[in-house]
Chains A and B, each alone.
Chain A
Amino acid sequence: MSIDTLFVDPSRCIGCRACEAACRECDSHKGESMIMVDFIDRGLSVATQPTVCMHCESPVAPCAQVCPVLAILITPEGVVQQADASRCIACRNCVYACPFGVPKIDLSGRLMKKCNLCYDRTSQDLQPWCAQACPTDALWYGTYEQFTHERNGAAVRQTDFGTQAVRTRVYHVLPADGSRLQVGANTDGAVRAGEVSQEEEPWVL
Chain B
Amino acid sequence: MSVNKDTFDPDRDANYDFQSAGKPETGWAKSDQLPDSLVPTHCSFCGVQCGMYLRVSNGQVTGVEPRDYPHNRGALCPKGVVAYQQVNHPDRLRYPLIRRGGKGGKLERASWDEALDYIVSRWQALQQQHGKDSVAVYSGSSMTNEKCYLMGKFARVGLGTRHIDYNGRLCMSSAGVAYAKAFGLDRAPFPMTDIPETNCILIAGSNVAECFPVMMQWLWRARDNGAKLIVMDPRETPTARTADLWLPLRPGTDVAILNAMLRYVIAEGLTDETYIASRTRDWDKVKAAVEPYTPELAERIAGVPAKRIIAAAEIFGRAPRSMVMHARGIEHSTHGVDNCLACINLSLARGQVGKHGGGVMMITGQGNGQGGREVGQKANQLPGYRHIDVLEERQEVAEVWGIPESEIPGEGAAATEMVKLMATGEIKSCLVICSNLMVSLPDNAVVARALDNLDPLIVIDFFMSETAERADVVLPGSVWCEDEGTTTNLEGRVVKINRAADPPGEGKRDWEIICELARRLGRGQFFDFHSSRDIFDELRRASKGGVADYAGITWEKIDRQSGVFWPCKTADDPGSPHLFTERFAHKDGLARFHPIVYTPAAEEPNESFPLRLTTGRVVYHYLSGNQTRRLGFLNSQAPEPWVEIHPSAAKRFGIVHEDRVRVRTPRGHMELKAIVVPTIRPDTIFVPFHYGHDGAVNQLTNPAVEPTVKIPEYKVCAAIVERIDSPLPTGEQHATENLTSVNAPKMFPYTVGETKGPAETHGKEF
Residues of A in contact with B (beta carbons under 8 Å apart): 11-18, 20-22, 24-25, 27, 30-33, 36-48, 51, 92, 95, 101, 104-108, 113, 127, 129, 132-137, 150-152, 194, 201-205
Contact = CB atoms under 8 A, between A and B. Distances in A.
Contact of B15 (A20, A43, A134): A20
Contacts of B676: 43
Interface in B21-77: 26, 28, 31-32, 63-64, 66, 72, 74-77
Contacts of A134: 75
Contact of A204 (B80, B237, B239, B304): B304
A39 B32 CA distance: 34
Contacts of B585: none
Contacts of A105: 6-8
Contact of A203 (B72, B81, B223, B248): B248
Contacts of A203: 246, 248, 304-305, 308
Contact of B26 (A31, A40, A137, A201): A31
B81 A22 contact: yes
B209 A32 contact: no
Contacts of A104: 5-8, 15
A107 to B, nearest CB: 6
B312 to A, nearest CB: 12
Nearest to A101: B4
B657 A43 contact: yes
Given A135-B213, A152-B224, A31 B78 contact: no
Given A31-B16, A32-B15, A135 B77 contact: yes
Nearest to A132: B66
Contact of B66 (A32, A108, A133, A151): A133
Interface in B661-678: 675-678
Contact of A15 (B80, B308, B619, B633): B619
Given A14-B216, A38-B4, A104-B8, 14 more contacts: A16-B213, A16-B620, A17-B14, A17-B78, A18-B213, A21-B82, A32-B16, A38-B1, A42-B675, A46-B238, A132-B74, A136-B209, A136-B213, A203-B308
Contacts of B237: 46
A32 B9 CA distance: 11
B637 A17 contact: yes
B633 A21 contact: yes
A42 B3 CA distance: 12
A136 B1 contact: no
Name the interface size band of chain B: 35 or more
Interface in B255-310: 299, 303-305, 307-308
Nearest to B50: A135
Given A31-B19, A31-B28, A36-B15, A113 B1 contact: no
B241 interface: yes
Contact of B81 (A25, A36, A43, A151): A25
A94 to B, nearest CB: 10
Given A137-B217, A151-B224, A14 B16 contact: no
B15 A202 contact: no
Contacts of B555: none
A137 B72 CA distance: 11
B18 interface: yes
Nearest to B14: A20
B379 to A, nearest CB: 35
A43 B637 contact: no
Given A45-B241, A105-B6, A205-B305, A133 B75 contact: yes
A136 B26 contact: no
Nearest to B68: A132
B216 A136 contact: yes
B87 to A, nearest CB: 14
A12 B216 contact: yes
Nearest to A98: B6
